[in-house]
């Protein structure tokens, strides 16, 4: 089932109201300040030089010497991955972001859901989301590099890794040939998801194949301008990571006070066991706060971070046990 967060249309249709707080995604609610757009970013096709500058900024931000291809979000890469190898057998760490298995199945792959990377040995293609969405499980770069030796192609989706750079395989990819690729999302950490920007990082042949599949203008002019500016802004990145760490701890404290148990998460979202997830979601929805629940768990509910003090106070008042 390809269900997703961010579906406020459904929330409004079900519960009414207009002044919603959307906590159903893991998108940074305090985005990078959008730079002014030069005329050519809108009026002209992106140039090869502009795209190369963006990809160079991404390589430096992610600490990699491997090849980098800019794409329309990490989702753009997910749609292309099934076409990188002959259709055979894939293993996908589960539960996780459901587009990986869905995209592979749509291209004819035999997809096996596995509970641990150790269960992936021998797969022709293996997908690990690190840190994982929604439970926050994570693995070291050493573990991911060892896994790459046991599968045909390892795909590591690091869409939520920006606040957790110690987990990234990207710095090792330049020495791993064509055995692994890393996918990165720009929009989640930088809070500009509507730009639709992400990256695939890997060996020369693999990234060349991704470029060919994506076509000549895979990213927009506005995405190039904003992405290049944000990825080179180390000061903003450090301040953002500190704020996210504080806010995720604050959210945990509210949830624990409400009687929920922490399942896990990242600095951009937290997942809790609320006992009855649907009832918890409905309680918050009556206060016009939208959250994410999952078809495979009766208890899990995932919350992104509020983006303002007013939103924090609304959430606090809507949670069970609020005083």
Q: Return the higher-pLDDT residue of 234 and 6.
A: 234
> How confident is the model over 309-322, as a mean pLDDT?
93
Same domain, 65 and 198: yes
Same domain, 57 and 198: yes
Confidence grade of residue 6 (pLDDT, cut at 50, 70, 90): confident
Picking from 180, 212, 232, the residue at the C-terminal end of a domain is 232
Q: What is the pLDDT of residues 35-65, one digit of tens each?
A: 999 999 999 999 999 999 999 999 999 999 9
Total structural domains in the chain? 2
Range of the domain at 136: 39-232
Domain assignment of residue 194, yes or no: yes
Picking from 180, 201, 232, the residue at the C-terminal end of a domain is 232
Q: What is the pLDDT of residues 244-301, one digit of tens each?
A: 999 999 999 999 999 999 999 999 999 999 999 999 999 999 999 999 999 999 999 9
Write the CA distances from 272 to 152, 265, 275, integer angstroms.
Answer: 35, 9, 9
Contacts of 155 (CB under 8 A, 6+ apart): 81, 100, 125, 126, 127, 128, 180, 181, 183
**What CATH number is given to the structural domain containing 310?**
3.90.1150.10
Same domain, 141 and 210: yes
Q: What is the pLDDT of residues 75-98, one digit of tens each?
A: 999 999 999 999 999 999 999 999
Picking from 208, 232, 256, the residue at the C-terminal end of a domain is 232
**What CATH number is given to the structural domain containing 122?**
3.40.640.10
Q: How many residues does the chain have?
A: 323
Q: What is the pLDDT of residues 129-143, one digit of tens each?
A: 999 999 999 999 999
Domain assignment of residue 209, yes or no: yes
Same domain, 93 and 223: yes
- Burial per residue of 143-156, b for 16 or more beta-carbon CB atoms within 10 angstroms, e otherwise: bbbebbeebbbbbb
Contacts of 288 (CB under 8 A, 6+ apart): 15, 17, 19, 20, 21, 314
Same domain, 89 and 139: yes
Same domain, 141 and 114: yes
- Whole-prediction pTM value? 0.96
- According to DSSP, the β-strands at 289-290 and 21-22 are parallel
Same domain, 23 and 46: no
Domain assignment of residue 67, yes or no: yes
Residue 240, pLDDT > 90, answer yes
Same domain, 126 and 251: no
DSSP state of 47: P
Domain assignment of residue 323, yes or no: no
Same domain, 68 and 99: yes
Domain assignment of residue 301, yes or no: yes
Same domain, 104 and 63: yes
Helices (H), the chain: 8-15, 39-43, 48-61, 73-80, 99-106, 141-148, 187-190, 204-214, 221-231, 234-257, 277-285, 309-318
Domain assignment of residue 151, yes or no: yes
Domain assignment of residue 312, yes or no: yes
> How confident is the model over 62-72, as a mean pLDDT?
98
Same domain, 199 and 64: yes
Residue 2, pLDDT > 90, answer no
Same domain, 111 and 162: yes
Domain assignment of residue 176, yes or no: yes
């Amino acid at each position: 089932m390809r269900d997703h967060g961010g579906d406020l249309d459904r929330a409004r249709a079900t519960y009414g109201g207009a002044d919603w707080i959307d906590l159903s995604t893991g998108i940074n609610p305090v985005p990078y300040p959008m730079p002014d757009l030069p005329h050519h970013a809108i009026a002209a096709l992106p140039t090869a030089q502009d795209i190369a500058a963006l990809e160079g900024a991404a390589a430096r931000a992610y600490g990699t010497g491997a090849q980098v291809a800019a794409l329309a979000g990490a989702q753009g890469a997910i749609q292309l991955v099934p076409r990188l190898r002959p259709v055979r057998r894939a293993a996908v760490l589960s539960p996780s972001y459901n587009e990986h298995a869905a995209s592979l199945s749509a291209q004819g792959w035999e997809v096996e859901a596995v509970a641990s990377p150790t269960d992936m040995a021998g797969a022709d293609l293996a997908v690990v989301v690190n840190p994982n969405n929604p439970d926050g499980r994570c693995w070291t770069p050493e573990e991911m590099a060892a896994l790459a030796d046991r599968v045909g192609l390892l795909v590591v989706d690091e869409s939520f890794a920006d606040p957790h750079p110690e987990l990234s395989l990207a710095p090792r990819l330049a020495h791993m040939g064509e055995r692994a690729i890393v996918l990165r999302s720009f929009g989640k950490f930088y809070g500009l998801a509507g730009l639709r920007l992400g990256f695939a990082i890997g060996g020369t042949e693999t990234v060349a194949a991704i470029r060919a599949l994506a076509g000549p203008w895979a990213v927009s002019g506005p995405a190039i301008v904003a992405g290049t500016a944000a990825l080179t802004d180390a000061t903003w990145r450090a301040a953002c990571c500190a704020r996210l760490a504080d806010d995720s701890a604050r959210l945990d404290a509210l949830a624990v006070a409400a009687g929920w148990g922490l399942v896990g998460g990242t600095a951009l979202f937290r997942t809790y066991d609320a006992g009855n997830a649907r009832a918890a979601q409905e309680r918050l929805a009556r206060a016009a706060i939208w959250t994410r629940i999952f078809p495979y768990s009766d208890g899990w509910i995932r919350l992104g971070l509020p983006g303002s003090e007013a939103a924090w106070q609304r959430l606090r008042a809507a949670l069970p046990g609020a005083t």
